Amino acid sequence: MRVRIKLFAQLRDRAATGDVACELPAVDAATVADVWDALIVMHPALTPFQSSVSSAVNAEYAKRQTRVHDGDEVAFLPPVSGG
Amino acid sequence: MRVRIKLFAQLRDRAATGDVACELPAVDAATVADVWDALIVMHPALTPFQSSVSSAVNAEYAKRQTRVHDGDEVAFLPPVSGG
Amino acid sequence: MPLFAITPAVLSVDGLAAEVAALASRAGEGCGAVTTFAGLVRAHHQGRRVRYLEYEAYEPLALKAFAQIQAEASEAWAGAVLGMHHRTGRLEIGEASIVIAAASAHRAEAFAVCRYAIERVKQIVPVWKHEYFDGGEAWVEGAIADPSDAHAREQAKARACASA
Amino acid sequence: MPLFAITPAVLSVDGLAAEVAALASRAGEGCGAVTTFAGLVRAHHQGRRVRYLEYEAYEPLALKAFAQIQAEASEAWAGAVLGMHHRTGRLEIGEASIVIAAASAHRAEAFAVCRYAIERVKQIVPVWKHEYFDGGEAWVEGAIADPSDAHAREQAKARACASA
């Protein structure tokens, strides 16, 4: 299965891209955590954000254990600083 | 001595005037309380406000025991309801 | 635009906000937060249908009361700039009777000063509201004005959430 | 004017205030209080001279986060109407990055909702601030976004002075 990863702010800067196509093994229960693990293999510079990153699936906040499906958009968000 | 009394809102309505000239005996220590006492003799309808009225002398908040002098402007204020 | 005014003219909250922001931006840490409050005439009050209001003020004392509120706010939240305009005369439903704006480097102070100001206005500023409703009219009951009442001041501070 | 927006356009706090006031005036007790908050770009931050800021947002999620904040506020303070606009792109010193307006029958709710909203924006809305200062640039450190964190929500409520 294939998901599209979106990266923002520092994450995008570190990865030097805001859009990453990600191919995952077609397992039954792929999660956001699996997508992150695949991402940091491709972009090891993102590893330090492991403990502070938030995630969203199809523009809804998600948890590490949230299931992802083929075609989903998975976003990783560094700590927010709006306002 | 002569002071000018200003009345506002309900007080003015009850007295049917906002300006009252008040002649006081030329004592050494006339106070706001003396002016009030003279006022309610002239306008007994104001008596019920005795416990809720605030006062000012020359447009500065005053207390019952504040001294007044010839020519002063003494204002009596019902409870405020601005905002 | 003066920071404090008693006026029969229609009030402008954005003009006052711009004014306090400009003043705060020239101070110490600059201006990072502007808060405003506007009190509007409601169509219903205590189960009555309001037609319009009339506000009366003792203007020279009201301006001094504004100045006292500003001094109290500066003592509690240094560096915040405060502006307050109260309208007088006849006000229609939906119109603003008072606008308050506060500007500061940080939001906690701007919120606290703005809230503190309206609480204190209702306690000590010599303004009176006369309500004209369907079937009658009445002066609105308010607070006995005592500018030296420390308890009232503490209550206003508590509502301003002084600790946050 | 939409109640919630992420936009590169200059923000208008008075337009948003008018919008929430109009909506609140058609509800139950009517609109007696409007509060606003504007966050402005300061010239100094952490001892550095700021040249300008750039804000970036994940717009579809940010709009959903605004909706969540509105739902939380409605649960805590029924009847208050809330609007929030956050700007993106390059902002100069003195410009507003965010404007919030809240309208309610009474002032306590209007203040609480406005303050609650900005606290929650800083906790859960996916927007990022990039600071360009004399001698460099940096992403500003913020809060780990967790919309289901009950502790953060309680903290925002406490700062909104929910009890007053």
Residue closest to C58 by CA, chosen among B35, B52, B1, B73? B73
Output the CA–CA distances (angstroms, integers) from residue D147 to A67, C5, D124, D150, in the order listed.
Answer: 18, 43, 6, 8
Residue C155's contacts (CB-CB under 8 Å, 6 or more residues apart) are: C119
Fold classified for A2-77: Ubiquitin-like (UB roll) (3.10.20)
Most D CBs within 10 Å, among C92, C111, C118, C159, to test the D interface: C111
Tell me whether residues D58 and A81 touch, CB distance under 8 A.
no
pLDDT tier at A28, thresholds 50, 70, 90: confident
DSSP strands (E only) in C4-157: 4-7, 33-40, 44-45, 48-57, 81-87, 89-92, 96-104, 127-133, 136-139
CB atoms within 10 A of CB B81: 20
Assembly ipTM:
0.95
Most B CBs within 10 Å, among C61, C86, C130, to test the B interface: C61
Q: What residues does each domain of chain A span? A: 2-77
CB atoms within 10 A of CB D6: 22
pLDDT tier at C164, thresholds 50, 70, 90: very low
- Provide the domain count of chain C: 1
pLDDT in tens, C25-71: 998 889 999 999 999 999 988 889 999 999 999 999 999 999 999 99
Note the pLDDT of residue D162.
66
Does chain B touch chain A (at least 3 C-beta pairs within 8 Å)? Answer: no
pLDDT in tens, D119-153: 999 999 999 999 999 999 999 989 999 999 999 99
What is the chain C residue with the closest CA to D40? C32
Output the CA–CA distances (angstroms, integers) from residue C106 to A23, B21, D112, in the order listed.
Answer: 46, 51, 17
Tell me whether residues D36 and C33 touch, CB distance under 8 A.
no
pLDDT tier at D45, thresholds 50, 70, 90: confident
Q: Helix, strand, or coil here: B43?
A: coil
Q: Give me the mean pLDDT over the C120-142 stretch.
A: 96
Q: What are phi and psi of B57, to 5 degrees?
A: -120, 120
Residue environment code for C87-108, b if the CB has 16+ CB neighbours within 10 A, otherwise e: bbeebebebbbbbbbbbbbebb
Check pLDDT > 80 for residue C162: no
CA–CA distance, B33 with C139 (Å, rounded to integer): 25
Q: Give me the mean pLDDT over the A40-68 stretch.
A: 97
CA–CA distance, C128 with C122 (Å, rounded to integer): 10
**Sign of the torsion formed by the C-alpha atoms of D146, A81, A67 and A72:** positive
Tell me whether residues A80 and D39 touch, CB distance under 8 A.
no
pLDDT in tens, D18-29: 999 999 999 888
Tens of pLDDT along chain B (83 residues) come to 999 999 999 999 999 999 999 999 877 789 999 999 999 999 999 999 999 999 999 999 999 999 999 999 999 999 999 99
Note the pLDDT of residue D163.
55
Tell me whether residues B77 and C57 touch, CB distance under 8 A.
no
C105 touches chain D (CB under 8 A): yes
The minimum CA-CA distance between B78 and chain C, rounded to whole Å, is 7
Token output for A11: 């994450």
The minimum CA-CA distance between C83 and chain D, rounded to whole Å, is 14
Task: Tell me the CATH number at D146.
Answer: 3.90.1170.40
CA–CA distance, C121 with D33 (Å, rounded to integer): 15
pLDDT in tens, C97-129: 999 999 999 999 999 999 999 999 999 999 999
Tell me whether residues C42 and D114 touch, CB distance under 8 A.
no
C80 touches chain D (CB under 8 A): no
Most C CBs within 10 Å, among B73, B74, B80, to test the C interface: B80
Tell me whether residues D30 and C42 touch, CB distance under 8 A.
yes
Domain that holds residue C104: 4-161
Residue matched to tokens 């948890």: A63
C chain contacts of residue B59, beta-carbon cutoff 8 Å: 58, 60-61, 64
